[in-house]
């Protein structure tokens, strides 16, 4: 697909998509390309800048790698308290002001996590399984 910026003889400008430049030429020669505003078939291509992705953006991989996930896990575990299966109860208590505001992580069933979100309590899934701490 190719997008052209077009202009009619009445100076109306518009854009249109074509299967290819050859398809545009075929339709143009047959008089099937017309102004979207006035219907004129006196059409010419207007100047337009090509859409080019910079090379650095093409090579940008935004998916997390193993080292990123390991660093995230270490950060969460060192800056948050693991509350295990009590996560839902603790998150709700912190939100309601019944417990000190502190960073926690733990485990919850999907339905329980959705209920927290529905109640305006911000939670997010972690992309790793926490180390289960036992007494």
Tens of pLDDT along the chain (135 residues) come to 788 889 999 999 888 888 888 888 888 898 888 888 888 999 998 776 666 666 665 556 666 788 888 888 898 899 999 999 999 999 999 999 999 999 999 999 999 999 999 999 989 888 888 776 655
Q: Is residue 70 situated within a structural domain?
A: yes
* pLDDT given for residue 57 in this prediction: 57
Q: Is residue 59 situated within a structural domain?
A: no
Q: Rounded distance, CA 1 to CA 22, Å?
A: 11
Same domain, 73 and 29: no
* pLDDT given for residue 66 in this prediction: 85
Among 63, 58, 27, residue whose Cα is nearest residue 45: 27
* pLDDT given for residue 83 in this prediction: 94
* pLDDT given for residue 39 in this prediction: 87
Same domain, 72 and 111: yes
Domain of 111 in residue numbering reads as: 66-118
Q: What total of structural domains would you count in the chain?
A: 2
The reported pTM is 0.51
Encoded tokens for 89 = 């109860």
Same domain, 113 and 74: yes
Sequence-distant (≥ 6) Cβ neighbours of residue 23 within 8 angstroms: none
Compute CA distances 131 → 3, 77, 79, 127, whole Å. 52, 9, 14, 13
Q: Rounded distance, CA 112 to CA 107, Å?
A: 10
């Amino acid at each position: 697909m190719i997008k052209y910026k077009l202009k009619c003889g009445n100076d109306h400008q518009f854009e249109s998509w074509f299967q290819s430049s050859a398809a545009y030429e075929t339709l143009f020669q047959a008089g099937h390309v017309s102004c979207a505003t006035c219907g004129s078939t006196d059409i010419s291509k207007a100047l337009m800048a090509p859409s080019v992705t910079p090379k650095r953006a093409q090579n940008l991989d935004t998916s997390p790698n193993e080292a990123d996930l390991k660093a995230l896990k270490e950060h969460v575990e060192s800056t948050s308290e693991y509350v295990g299966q009590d996560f839902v109860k603790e998150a709700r208590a912190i939100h309601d002001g019944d417990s000190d505001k502190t960073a926690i992580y733990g485990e919850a069933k999907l339905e329980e996590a959705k209920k927290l979100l529905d109640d305006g309590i911000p939670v997010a899934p972690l992309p790793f399984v926490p180390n289960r701490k036992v007494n």
